[in-house]
Amino acid sequence: MIHPTAIIHPQAQIGSGCEIGPYCVIGEHVTLGDNCKLHSHVVVDGHTKLGRGNEIFPFAALGMKTQDLKFKGGSPRLDVGDQNVFREGVTVHCATNDHEATVIGSHNLFIIQAHVAHDCILGSHIIMSGYAGLAGHCVVEDHAILGGYVAVHQFCRIGKFAMIGGCSKIVQDVPPFVIVDGNPGETRAINKIGLQRHGVSEEAQNALKKAYKILFREELSHPNALAKIEAELPALPEVSHLVQFVRASERGICK
């Protein structure tokens, strides 16, 4: 299942059942898990490890050297989980510093020309739409959705179940469970449909709606708003995660 025009370094580790199409290039330090499928003209290089069942479409490039000018050499990595889809032209870079890694979980979809820069940490079940881009050191939690052409500033965090509208500019953290849109991005509402689709309980949805109003509509400082949420709302996992996410923010949150 390896096309004769593919170039695979003898030291690369290729799992069983992999399909490697025409003109693909696989570097020396690459590990492909079982049943990965590389369509034509794919490049996987650097110290890159892919799990099982990943599918990579033409002209995607994974594991290339960071674009960070602070790169000093060494063996920074790209670690990818299972069952991800990288569509045409997607780029994902290794970390900047030796022994550090860009990390991607499992079951994510990266649509055409999406970009994940150095040192990003992504969870699972994420969708990055066409031309969406993450600058360095971003964190994206599970089930987040980034619309087309979304641009995320370095060191920003995107919370779980957050949804970002197309063409938004993100310069601060996006709290979990919300919809953000605009340039710069502003928090618009709770992501009600996303929560319903993923089976979040009615109790948790109602509590998140109340938390949203306290945090974004009552004109309280963040410490006072979080204290009120903890005092008045049930200590459900979703509410606790929202509080912890906002409390840990270093860049501030989209308001």
H-assigned helices in the chain: 192-197, 202-217, 222-232, 237-247
Residue with tokens 């096309």: 3
Amino acid at residue number 169: K
Of 62, 51, 126, give the one whose Cα is nearest residue 92: 62
Termini Cα distance of the chain: 51
**Predicted local confidence at residue 43, as pLDDT:** 98
Cβ–Cβ under 8 Å, residues 21 and 42: yes
Q: Which two tokens mark 234?
A: 């049930």
**Predicted local confidence at residue 46, as pLDDT:** 98
Which listed residue (53, 89, 136, 194) is catalytic? 136
Question: For residue 196, with 0-12 CB atoms within 10 Å meaning exposed, 13-18 middle and 19 or more buried, which class applies?
Answer: exposed
Under DSSP, the state recorded for 65 is: P
- pLDDT tens track, the chain, 255 positions: 999 999 999 999 999 999 999 999 999 999 999 999 999 999 999 999 999 999 999 999 999 999 999 999 999 999 999 999 999 999 999 999 999 999 999 999 999 999 999 999 999 999 999 999 999 999 999 999 999 999 999 999 999 999 999 999 999 999 999 999 999 999 999 999 999 999 999 999 999 999 999 999 999 999 999 999 999 999 999 999 999 999 999 999 999
Which listed residue (41, 93, 115, 118) is catalytic? 118
**Predicted local confidence at residue 251, as pLDDT:** 95
Which listed residue (45, 68, 79, 119) is catalytic? 119
Of 115, 153, 108, 109, give the one whose Cα is nearest residue 131: 115
Check if 27 is active-site.
Answer: no
Amino acid at residue number 62: L
Domains of the chain: 7-189 (2.160.10.10), 195-247 (1.20.1180.10)
Under DSSP, the state recorded for 223 is: H
117/164 Cα distance (integer angstroms) = 18
Whole-angstrom CA distances from 13 to 6, 16, 34, 85, 255 are 15, 10, 10, 20, 47
Cis peptide before 10 (omega within 30 of 0): no
**Predicted local confidence at residue 167, as pLDDT:** 98
Phi-psi region of 93 (alpha: psi -120 to 50; beta: other; left: phi over 0): beta
Residue with tokens 């050297």: 65
Cβ–Cβ under 8 Å, residues 64 and 48: no
**Continuous segment of H or E residues that includes residue 246:** helix 237-247
Check if 99 is active-site.
Answer: no
Check if 136 is active-site.
Answer: yes
Cβ–Cβ under 8 Å, residues 233 and 207: yes
